[in-house]
Amino acid sequence: MEVLSRIENAMLAVMAAPILAQSDTIVFEGGELISFSGEILTRQPSPFGEKITGAILAGDLLEVFKRFPDDVLRVESKEGELIVRGKKRIAGLRMMEEILLPYKNVPDPGKFYSFSDKLIPHMLSASGVCGKDETKPKITHVHITENIVEAVDGFQYFRASFQTGLKREVQIHHAIIKSLSKYPLKEASVSEEEGWIHFKTDGGDLRISCVCNTSDYFSEEIFEKMLKQDGVEVELPENMEEILSRAEIMNPSIAATGNADSRVEIFLGENRLTILTEKENGWFKEQKEVLYSGPEFTFCINPAFLRTMISKNLKMIVNDQIARIERDDIHFISALILNKNPKWESREAKDIEESVEE
């Protein structure tokens, strides 16, 4: 089970379709178990010590240790193969003796230090705001400084203001953050050579290094102006969390990618709030009365994130440009799409008499 756990950890940096030499393998070298995708590097003590050296296809190695039912396995290196023996079963895995994986190109970390318990959760929330256009790296990365975690996609902006614990400014790709969030990370180190951040897990056995974007981020003045904008205060329904939970049923991202990429559309009109989600095989709509008088508009937001934001504050500030929600040290802003004929009004549902509670 210990070996299996370490192999599963290493799969974080294994590429199914390798671009780098041996990036679809797990490497055993110098008493370490190593995997490297070019963007993520994992290093752990090898469960076999220094007795076994070589590179083995990661998928095959994982399946052998997952499917052998034995409590105890004997592992040895023999004639270019890793031999795994159970009580009544045996498997041989071809082992490449020459290590070609270029993991030594990753700079060594400096001194590790602890960081805020809020850092990883806020990074994960910020990653849900990032854009998907890889030609624009500023919107696909989460920006982290000593006192801010922020992200923007051109329509939404997330900021958490707190002492992060990081010593230097970094930008980490949203997809890497979603992978990192699954691990109990406790310490970090930002390389003196810019371009890499390193994490240690609780216990320190697993070390994960991630590539960073080193280009300049957006000017802080842009976001400060948005955060200071005034508007009309709108109080969201008390059962908003229940509505969002129902709306997620018809969100395609829940099944495909989990909550992180989920979206709901929220429409605000004259004393009326409408929540809509849709996927290929269905859609959901729910309306509630709210106290609002102003232009009609629509914005999108991650429902899981919105539930977190409104758990302590049901108030939202809106004007003719943005909607802003604040909670403790978190600020979320969405650009508004002004519209007089939202798309769901033309749906079949418009013919159904809505039952709207006072």
Give pLDDT tens digits for 28-56.
999 999 999 999 999 999 999 998 999 99
Residue 183 domain-assigned (yes or no): yes
Residue 42 domain-assigned (yes or no): yes
CATH of the domain at 247: 3.10.150.10
Residue 13 domain-assigned (yes or no): yes
pLDDT digits (tens, 9 = 90+) for 251-309: 765 444 444 456 788 898 888 999 998 887 889 999 999 888 888 888 888 887 888 88
- Output the pLDDT for position 339: 62
The amino acid at 242:
E
What phi-psi label fits residue 79: left (phi over 0), alpha (psi between -120 and 50 degrees) or beta?
Answer: left
Flag whether pLDDT at 356 surpasses 80. Answer: no
Total domain count for the chain? Answer: 3
Do residues 214 and 246 both lie within one domain?
no
Do residues 95 and 157 both lie within one domain?
no
Contact (CB, 8 A) for 174 and 142: yes
Residue 135 domain-assigned (yes or no): yes
Query: Which of 224, 256, 279 is the last residue before a domain boundary?
Result: 224
Do residues 249 and 334 both lie within one domain?
yes
- Output the pLDDT for position 255: 43
Which of 88-92's residues contact partners 24+ apart within 8 Å by CB, and which partners? Answer: 91/64
More confident residue, 83 or 258: 83
Query: Which of 172, 193, 224 is the last residue before a domain boundary?
Result: 224
- Output the pLDDT for position 252: 61
- Write down the H helix ranges in 41-84: 58-67
Do residues 155 and 217 both lie within one domain?
yes
Do residues 69 and 146 both lie within one domain?
no
Residue 358 domain-assigned (yes or no): no
Residue 87 domain-assigned (yes or no): yes
Cα dist from 103 to 41, 89, 176, 321, whole Å: 7, 34, 17, 47
Flag whether pLDDT at 222 surpasses 50. Answer: yes
Do residues 345 and 236 both lie within one domain?
yes
Do residues 203 and 253 both lie within one domain?
no
- Output the pLDDT for position 357: 34
Q: Which helix (H) or strand (E) holds 196?
A: strand 196-201
pLDDT digits (tens, 9 = 90+) for 162-186: 999 998 999 999 999 999 999 999 9
- Output the pLDDT for position 294: 80
- Output the pLDDT for position 355: 35
Do residues 205 and 238 both lie within one domain?
no
Do residues 54 and 117 both lie within one domain?
no
* Distance of alpha carbon 50 from alpha carbon 29, whole angstroms: 7
* Distance of alpha carbon 332 from alpha carbon 322, whole angstroms: 10
Q: What is the mean pLDDT of residues 103-122?
A: 94
Query: Which of 193, 224, 255 is the last residue before a domain boundary?
Result: 224
Q: Which of 220-224, 250-254, 344-348 has the highest mean predicted lDDT (pLDDT)?
A: 220-224
Residue 148 domain-assigned (yes or no): yes
Do residues 266 and 245 both lie within one domain?
yes
Burial (0-12, 13-18, 19+ Cβ within 10 Å), 182: exposed
Do residues 80 and 95 both lie within one domain?
yes
| Owning domain of residue 169 | 113-224
Least confident among 130-134, 240-244, 337-341: 337-341
Do residues 255 and 299 both lie within one domain?
yes
The amino acid at 34:
I
- Output the pLDDT for position 154: 85
* Distance of alpha carbon 21 from alpha carbon 37, whole angstroms: 10
* Distance of alpha carbon 295 from alpha carbon 291, whole angstroms: 13
Residue 136 domain-assigned (yes or no): yes
Contact (CB, 8 A) for 176 and 192: no
* Distance of alpha carbon 224 from alpha carbon 227, whole angstroms: 5
Q: What is the mean pLDDT of residues 63-76?
A: 93
pLDDT digits (tens, 9 = 90+) for 117-166: 999 999 999 998 898 899 999 999 999 999 999 999 988 999 999 999 99
pLDDT digits (tens, 9 = 90+) for 3-26: 999 999 999 999 988 889 999 999
Contact (CB, 8 A) for 313 and 331: no
DSSP 3-state percent helix, strand, coil across the chain (nearest 5): 25, 35, 40
How far does the chain reach from its first CA to its final CA, in angstroms?
57
pLDDT digits (tens, 9 = 90+) for 187-215: 999 987 779 999 999 888 999 999 999 88
pLDDT digits (tens, 9 = 90+) for 86-96: 999 999 999 99
